[in-house]
Structure 1
Amino acid sequence: METSRQITAIQAAAILVSTIIGVGVLPLPLFAVRAADSGAPLVTLLGALVAFVGLTLLALLGMRFPNQSIIQYSEHIIGKWLAWIGSAFIIVFFAVLTALTAREFGEVVVTSVLKNTPLEVTVIVMLLLAAVSTRNDITTFAYIHNYYFPALLGPGLLIVVLSLKNAELINLEPIWGNEPNGMLGGVLTVAALFQGSFILTMIIPAMRRPEKALKASAWGMLIAGGLYVTIVAATVSVFGAEESRQLLWPTLELAKATSLPANILERLDAAFLAVWVTAVFTTLFSSYFLTIHSLSKLLRLRDHRMFSFFMLPIVFIMAMLPHNIIHMYEIIQNVGRIGLFVTIGYPALLLTISLIRRKRGDRVGDKPMDPGV
């Protein structure tokens, strides 16, 4: 089945932003502060740059193979069996990432809002919503992301701007932190929060002009990364590094401490959580879609819909494996760092080999190559 090329560069950038901005926005300042206290904004910026390197690799690969996803062109670059192993790692990793995203969503909801609701109910409801949504094609997938994009970006920027009235710039000094020894680990942890951008490998074959993939990547990372840096800077400037270190979800506390002018709303946390639920859905939607879409390509099936509900119990069981919220965040950090080998290391390997072997896919409009060649 030939992919319909209807996604524009602007839509691709919007998909990247709405995928990246998700459940990780709540603990992001905590991860950054633990790594370098007042240097948290710098850690976040460096993490975004590391993530952009990986996204650039994916964009360059997609531009070389505009008719295929990474599951398909990897076979052309390194051979069928090695590519099968790499693709299996990608599928397993994003299935685990989907499960952890759903579990983190459930923990936040039952802790902050629905305190008498079983954790399993909140997790399965969000997974069901994602599973039903993934039964659409790639064009509808893009429309859903573009529809929610303004609702995600606007409130986030509004909270940051309004919180600046309580900011103290001295809390951001020194900009490299007092104890920057843990900065490397923090950079990798923050970079792992951008791994949803791997969805670009699935978007490029559906873009009208795949040659604009790099431009779309740059804009997507600039917007998402810029929002993350400003959220961390606002949190640290308002609360200070030491107090931020004691907060489980600093961004949520920032929303609680922020109010609209003239006290129209004295606290924005309720409105923020409503927007955050949407952000979680778009992130979960992308990772679930990427998982089942990649699986269908690996098995050479014409359609991914049959896996929408097949993967649901597997992902749900994985989501319920962490013992508690502390254990969950330990797993999230470890899985995220290990996943950088999949989302950055593997594409780097493929691009290097494709350049050495001078492998290149067909142009847009040509008949896709046979992966077994």
Structure 2
Amino acid sequence: MESPEKISGNQLCLLVFSFIAPTVILVVPSFMEEISKQDSWITIFPAVLIGALNVWIMIVLSNRYPGQTIIQYSSQILGKWPGKFLGFYFLYFWINFDFIILDQHIQFINTVFLISTPSIVVSLTLALLCGIAVYMGIESIARCNEYLSLLIIASLIPLLLLMLAESDPERLRPVMSKGIVPVLQASIFPVAYLGQFIILGWLLPYLNQPKKAAKFSFISLFITSGLVFITVLPLIMVFGPLTRKLAFPVLSVIQYIGIKGSFERLEAFAVAIWVMGYFVKVSLTFFIICLSIAHLFDIKSYRNFVVPITILSVIGSVSVFVNSTDLSSYLRETYPSLAFSTHFILPLLLLMIDTIKRHWKKSVP
């Protein structure tokens, strides 16, 4: 048997933060502004409500099936074969997600930093490091992230302060001039990313203090949501309507600060935030994929799949989309609804079915 690995509550909190935050703050604001315009900052509030409900669902399921991942207790809730079918769907979703985030990493690095570097080199260098981290185990990823997440936060604070210096609050007006509907429509984008708290379904079995799972999960939610809020707000106040036309709006505002202010080449901070966050994100995705395969086929060690998944990820990342336009269209038009149904609707259905079954058993004499 493989020795059980454990992570602390603080490590869980920081893992989820690093998994979600860098992507949201660097990519999503342009999608939000395209629909809700200057009211983009308001979309965070309905997203937080859905995110909190998502966290609660994952915590309740974990408490009912302690020590098991969502792949394992799905079969207990739905039955063996329906549960296996749902498990295979989750596996497909995470593999597809893996291809997309690695391709996103390629597009970012090729746009900002290494313009002429072949895509496969950019993907391979990150995938190899992530594969090594996953082979070392979830404890190693969590310990590494303790330092990386602090570096991410330390890099963001001065950038946010410089953004505020260039902000114009008048760009936030008029507030909700077209009503609440555009705000609710645009909230699907932060909801799609805050819904990534579904990873708790794979991480909570490794928590060394299960009774504190809710505490640390909700702390992570509010830290991540707060960071998104204090990033989007000054971003709109700096660029206004121009935000929707930028592929990486936070990167653009950092470059703008570097030109207008006393500092230069501040985009290096954005690159550092992205690479550190994506190292954790891809590592956790690899871990979830390998763990899902192991549980679907009742194999003791998930480490047996690290090498093939790393190779598959590199190949998939360079072939999943033809160019950045296709990637952007997918993230704007397809991913939000797919993520909402996978991250939120499916766990909710699992909880509802499990609750009905438990009440049914109690009512039967």
Name the TM-score, length of structure 2 as normaliser: 0.91
Q: What is the CA–CA distance in structure 2 between the aligned matches of 1:217 and 1:27, rounded to whole Å?
A: 23
Give distance in 1, aligned partners of 2:97 and 2:230: 25
- Rounded to whole Å, the distance in 1 between the matches of 2:140 and 2:80 is 31
Q: 1:257 and 2:242 equivalent? A: no
Return the letter of the residue paired with 2:227. L
Moved more, 252-261 or 198-207: 252-261
Paired with 1:171 and 1:10, the residues of 2 have a C-alpha distance of 38
Aligned residue runs from structure 1 range 161-310, under 5 A: 161-176=161-176, 178=178, 181-240=181-240, 242-258=241-257, 263=262, 265-310=263-308
| Percentage of matched positions with identical amino acids | 23
Q: 1:279: Cα distance to partner? A: 1.0
Q: Please name the residue that 1:98 is paired with.
A: 98
Deviation per residue, 1:73-128 (Å, 9 max, x gap) = 11111111111111111111111111111101111111111111112221222222
Give, in angstroms, the shift of residue 294 of structure 1: 1.2
Task: Name 1:116's counterpart in structure 2.
Answer: 116
Deviates more, 1:125-134 or 1:31-40: 125-134
Q: CA deviation at 1:198?
A: 2.2
Q: What is the DSSP-based 3-state SS (H/G/I as helix, E as strand, rest coil) of the residue aligned with 1:26?
A: helix
Distance in 1 between the 2:260 and 2:315 partners?
45
Aligned to 1:75: 75
Shift of 1:163: 1.0
Whole-Å separation in 2 of the counterparts to 1:269 and 1:177: 34
Displacement of 1:182: 4.1
Equivalent pair of 2:133/2:283 in contact (CA under 8 Å): yes
How many Å separate the matches in 1 of 2:227 and 2:177? 21
Match of 2:309 in 1: 311
What is the CA-CA distance between 1:259 and the residue it aligns to? 5.3
- Going from structure 1 to structure 2, the CA distance change for 1:73 and 1:55 (only over 3 Å counts) comes to same
- Count of residue correspondences: 357
- Deviation digits for residues 142-181 of structure 1 (CA, Å, limit 9, x no counterpart): 2122221101122223211221011111111233354765
What is the CA–CA distance in structure 2 between the aligned matches of 1:261 and 1:30, rounded to whole Å? 22
Q: Distance in 1 between matches of 2:306 and 2:79?
A: 28
| Mapped partners of 1:261, 1:331: distance in 2 | 34
1:330-361 deviation line (CA, Å, top 9, x unaligned): 223313421221211111111112222229xx
CA distance in 2, matches of 1:120, 1:73: 37
Structure 1 residues 94 and 149 mapped into 2: Cα distance closer, same or farther (>3 Å)? Answer: same
Q: Deviations over 1:273-299 (max 9, x none)?
A: 122211111111111211111111111
Work out the CA distance in 1 between the residues paired with 2:216 and 2:358. 25
Q: Structure 1 stretches of 5 or more lacking a match?
A: 360-373
Distance in 2, matches of 1:177 and 1:217, equals 35
Note the C-alpha offset of 1:69.
Answer: 0.8
AA aligned opposite 2:62: G
RMSD of aligned residue pairs (Cα, Å):
2.2
Question: Corresponding residue for 2:27?
Answer: 27
**Following the alignment from structure 2 to structure 1, what is the Cα–Cα distance between the partners of residues 260 and 244?**
28
**Higher helix proportion:** 2
- 1:65 maps to amino acid: Y
